[in-house]
């Protein structure tokens, strides 16, 4: 009995090597070269073909290769009793926080303005900082770390979550108070999990409630953003620009209008990348826990979607 790794189009040889080094007893099969479906008790997934898990008669555990699980939950054929786990990695959190802070500080200190001035040989010392208040949508593991680091830097920050919470160490708003939250910030960071309730949340109706000239950073999932609404929101002044690391279609098509919009900065989904050396031990730990009927670590609540 062992694992199957299903991640079409991705080189998973590093994952195989690390897992085998950690536990030589575990048999590993890699999609599409699955020779014995009945020998698989656990699968490691990233963007798997929907419905394929029905081929594994003895499947007991589903492991995401990353922190996100929306790519798994989109497969409605997955049996409801199968547990799903995700990766929690300090390095992943470190990289994500640094990326978000980079985007916030670039806006705050107007780096793109000075890059343009340099090309024109312009020396302009006026108004070197844009005053900022940051709003973080999603206050879980990743969003909470961003908020903590911003507080340490002395930057005013607010958090937004799905439900009411008490005694938070920062100003906190739930979805029912979205309009008030948006009115108080001028940098908006989306770090929400992707669920049916949050898909398309970054849309024109939301942008119209933002403080004029709000700067948007999306590091969560491409489908949080209604892409056709972004450029009109910038042109109408609701947003001053955006930093985007995630998109509906990746790689972003060459004819996509975001490439040519100077107010939009694009990065190729690199804000935070799972480190197999940190992830593999968690997956093996859960595999052994599953075999011994012990509680799993980092198991998601399927009813919530994260």
Q: Which residues are catalytic?
A: 221, 269
Q: Contact 88/282 with Cβ under 8 angstroms? A: yes
| Whole-angstrom Cα Rg for the chain | 21
Distance CA 230, CA 26 (A): 47
| Residues in a beta bridge with 189 | 136, 217
SS3 letters across the chain: CEEEEECCCCCCHHHHHHHHHHCCCCEEEECCCCCCHHHEEEEEECCCCCCHHHHCCCCCEEEECCCCCHHHHCCCCCCCCCCEECCCCHHHHHHHHHHHHHHHHHHHCCHHHHHHHHHHCCCCCCCCCCCCCEEEECCCHHHHHHHHHHHHCCCCEEEEECCCCCCCCCCEEEHHHHHHHHHCCCEEEECCCCCCCCCCCECHHHHHHCCCCEEEEECCCHHHECHHHHHHHHHCCCEEEEEECCCCCCCCCCCCHHHHCCCEEECCCCCCCCCHHHHHHHHHHHHHHHHCCCCCCCECCCCCCC
Distance CA 107, CA 129 (A): 9
Distance CA 38, CA 60 (A): 11
């Amino acid at each position: 009995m062992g694992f199957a790794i299903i991640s079409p189009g991705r080189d998973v040889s590093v994952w195989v090597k690390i897992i085998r080094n950690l536990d030589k007893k575990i048999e590993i099969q890699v999609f599409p070269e699955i020779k014995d479906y009945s020998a698989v008790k656990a699968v490691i997934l990233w963007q798997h073909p929907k419905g394929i898990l029905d081929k594994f008669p003895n499947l007991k555990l589903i492991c995401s290769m990353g922190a996100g699980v929306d790519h798994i939950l989109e497969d409605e054929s997955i049996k409801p009793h199968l547990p799903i786990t995700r990766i929690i990695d300090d390095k992943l959190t470190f990289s994500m926080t640094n990326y978000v802070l980079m985007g916030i500080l670039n806006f705050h200190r107007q780096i793109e303005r000075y890059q343009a001035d340099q090309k024109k040989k312009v020396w302009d010392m006026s108004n070197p900082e844009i005053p900022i208040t940051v709003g973080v949508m999603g206050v879980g593991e990743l969003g909470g770390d961003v908020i903590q680091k911003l507080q340490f830097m002395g930057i005013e920050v607010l958090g937004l979550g799905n439900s009411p919470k008490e005694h938070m160490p920062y100003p906190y708003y739930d979805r029912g108070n979205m309009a008030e939250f948006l009115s108080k910030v001028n940098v908006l960071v989306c770090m929400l999990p992707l669920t049916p309730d949050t898909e398309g949340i970054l849309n024109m109706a939301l942008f119209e409630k933002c403080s004029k000239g709000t700067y948007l950073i999306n590091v969560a999932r491409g489908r949080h953003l209604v892409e056709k609404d972004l450029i009109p929101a910038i042109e109408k002044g609701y947003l001053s620009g955006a930093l985007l690391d995630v998109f509906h279609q990746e790689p972003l098509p060459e004819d996509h209008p975001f490439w040519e919009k100077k107010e939009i900065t694009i990065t190729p989904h690199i804000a935070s990348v799972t480190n197999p050396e940190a992830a593999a031990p968690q997956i093996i730990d859960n595999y052994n826990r599953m075999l011994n009927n012990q509680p799993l670590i980092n198991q998601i609540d399927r009813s919530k979607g994260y």
